[in-house]
Structure 1
Amino acid sequence: MSAGLTFSFTVADNAGERLDLLVARHGDLSRTQAATLIANGTVLVNGERQKASYRAEPEDAVVVTVPPPPGRDVVPEQIPLDIVYEDEHLLVVNKAAGMVVHPAPGNWSGTLVNALMGRGEPLAEGGGEDRAGLVHRLDKDTSGLLVVAKTDESHRILSGALAARQVTRRYVAVCWGHLNADSLTVDKPIARDPRDRTRMAIVQTGKAARTDFTRLARFDSVDLLRAHLHTGRTHQIRIHLSSVGHPVIGDDTYGGGGGRKLAGLPPRRHFLHAAWLRFKHPVSGAIVDLRSPLPTDLRQSLAALSDMPELATHQDPLDVFGFYHTDESVGSARGAASD
């Protein structure tokens, strides 16, 4: 749960459970964080403060406000960005692997938000200063396309389209081993791992999450996949593939880190790239269709894994494997991201 936001829920099947446990689960917080919020009076049950040990009753209405962290200003920084689309309403960044998207403890500088603010262009304020126009996010070591709103109106419309599953986001991934079929849908809820709050996990009480996977190629030890997100949970593709026994190669967190040398990947890099983004422009309604070819490190890795050395210098190896072939029509607004 992002700091500086408010969320609410109504108690249904969890009557009798402690308030701190309910708040932690609904807000993707640790139990200690939830207890602190309750003690500080930012959690109200039916409009009143309660203790962390309060036992919830059916139909209790709980409102939780997560205050922003004190004393940290987001500092604009002059960091080069690969902007692949921009107008007065929005921009799309081709994010490099290794860049954190927004400031947080341990990463107060060098983030995408710091870089966006350093450009001196207007950014939507709806998400708060530390989110500065972000409509969605990418993991630190995931590269590819990401939308940023310049106005609050654009942010509202794009966020609504994302929630309504009207924004098409397709990723390329390479997983260890081989799927049992050429297509697979994983529909499993995701939440903070109750045993390790730095990770996410499949949790039955978590938020709904669905990913469609299509196998584009089968190599000796790995599959090349196209992943289509229907929801946007943290680490969703990585967790869903790990849950079926085929983690993303190079993913140290969810079991795919072994064999990194075989894949030819640099340290801390996993083979996951947001390659295709398609959405309606929030003002004109025109279709914006953007593609990001594989960056150099992933091209070289794919060339090694496929035993096709020519892919290392191919302009867009994804074309070779039909990544962009779907039944959807192609829109009128188009751009190409460089690597």
Structure 2
Amino acid sequence: MSETRYLPVPDSLVGDRADAALSRMLGLSRTKCADLLAAGAATQDGIELGKSSRIGEGVLEITIPDERERGPEPAVPGGLEVVYEDDDLLVVNKPVGVAAHPSPGWEGPTVVGALAASGHTLADAGPPERQGIVHRLDVGTSGLMVVAKSDAAYSALKRAFKERTVDKIYHAIAQGHMDPTEGTIDAPIGRHPSSDFKFAVIEGGRPSVTHYKVMEMFPAASLLEVHLETGRTHQIRVHMTAMRHTLVGDLQYGADPTQAKRLGLKRQWLHAKELAFEHPTRGGELRVTSEYPEDLASALEKLRAS
């Protein structure tokens, strides 16, 4: 089975190459979109598009292969810890290297796949490849995710995230010393103008608000508590980079590779530490916390020792 999507072409993409336009519209890499186009997966006005075709006004018809047919997923590195569960939802502690759900171009383990393999039944609402997923963490970010088991919980949790009533607390280590030591970054985020895999603060981007507070300072870094008011892709990483305080270990956004190597980091120092929200069916606040994984804890101890 495959999925067919009908995507209106934004005015800003009219005239662009098909591979570049699809990359922006689908949120996939340009290489993956070129593969889809080569397979004849995209048409406009009944005409099959190639990767160098120019997109016109109107609607694109895109056929995307069902990623569930790709065979068993790889095992989740370090396992997937369920830290809370009831009849309506569960909260997991996601390891680094695990995506929230299957997507074109991703061949690694996912939260959805790991939960299914361990016998959990998730909500049927939403796209089939995203069963129960109401929010996501980057593959390179560890920490807490809530997943819906009932359709009622799915609808209520999706609404809570949309209305920004979920308290999302992250811990992060940024390069240098933040000045001021407590503040709010209110800057719009959109796709990076020259990179398929990055985002940036850009004019016309989606409104994005990050609150931070310095918890601890080291000779060349700061441990931060971060509250997300919005939930854009790479939001903390982009906002800290815009402040000239890229997260330690975040080589994609220009972090110091020497510092990352010294601390033994192979990803950004960023962890979804705490989640709090009103229980979607029972009412009352549910608050869950998690500990740092081994790689982040080790890097933090090295900074403290310095």
| Interval containing the TM-score (normalised by the shorter chain) | 0.7 to 0.9
Task: State the distance in 2 between where 1:107 and 1:22 align.
Answer: 20
Which shows bigger deviation, 292-301 or 84-93? 292-301
Q: In the alignment, which residue of structure 2 is the partner of 1:84?
A: 83
Deviation at 1:126, TM superposition (A): 2.6
Identical positions, percent: 35
SS at match of 1:136: coil
Deviation at 1:295, TM superposition (A): 2.3
Q: 1:287 aligns with which of 285, 289, 294?
A: 285
* Counterpart residue identity of residue 282, structure 1: P
Which runs of structure 2 are paired with 1:310-321 in the superposition (5 Å)?
Answer: none
Indicate whether 1:254 and 2:253 are aligned: yes
RMSD over aligned CA atoms reads 3.4
Which runs of structure 2 are paired with 1:55-204 in the superposition (5 Å)?
Answer: 66-70=62-66, 72-73=68-69, 75=72, 80-204=79-203
* Counterpart residue identity of residue 65, structure 2: P
- For the 8 Å contact 1:28–1:191, the answer to whether it is kept is no
Task: State the distance in 1 between where 2:59 and 2:168 align.
Answer: 32
Deviation at 1:113, TM superposition (A): 1.8
Task: State the distance in 2 between where 1:5 and 1:127 align.
Answer: 14
Deviation at 1:24, TM superposition (A): 6.1
Deviation at 1:90, TM superposition (A): 0.6
1:255-300: CA deviation from partner (whole Å, max 9, x where unpaired): 12421144x234x232100001001111112211011122232222
| Structure 1 residues without counterparts, runs of 5 or longer | 57-61, 309-339
Deviation at 1:112, TM superposition (A): 1.9
SS at match of 2:301: helix
Indicate whether 1:243 and 2:259 are aligned: no
Deviation at 1:191, TM superposition (A): 2.5
SS at match of 1:170: strand
1:153-189: CA deviation from partner (whole Å, max 9, x where unpaired): 2112111110110111010000001112012322222
Task: State the distance in 2 between where 1:75 and 1:114 align.
Answer: 9
Aligned residues: 292
Which shows bigger deviation, 21-30 or 74-83? 21-30
Task: State the distance in 2 between where 1:4 and 1:208 align.
Answer: 30
* Counterpart residue identity of residue 260, structure 1: A
Deviation at 1:150, TM superposition (A): 0.9
Q: In the alignment, which residue of structure 1 is the partner of 2:298?
A: 300
Task: State the distance in 1 between where 2:41 and 2:64 align.
Answer: 13
Deviation at 1:248, TM superposition (A): 0.6
Specify which structure has the higher proportion of helix: 2
| Structure 2 residues without counterparts, runs of 5 or longer | none
Task: State the distance in 2 between where 1:213 and 1:4 align.
Answer: 41
* Counterpart residue identity of residue 197, structure 1: D
Task: State the distance in 2 between where 1:236 and 1:29 align.
Answer: 18
Which shows bigger deviation, 123-132 or 142-151? 123-132
Q: In the alignment, which residue of structure 1 is the partner of 2:214?
A: 215
SS at match of 2:130: coil
SS at match of 1:108: coil
Deviation at 1:146, TM superposition (A): 0.4
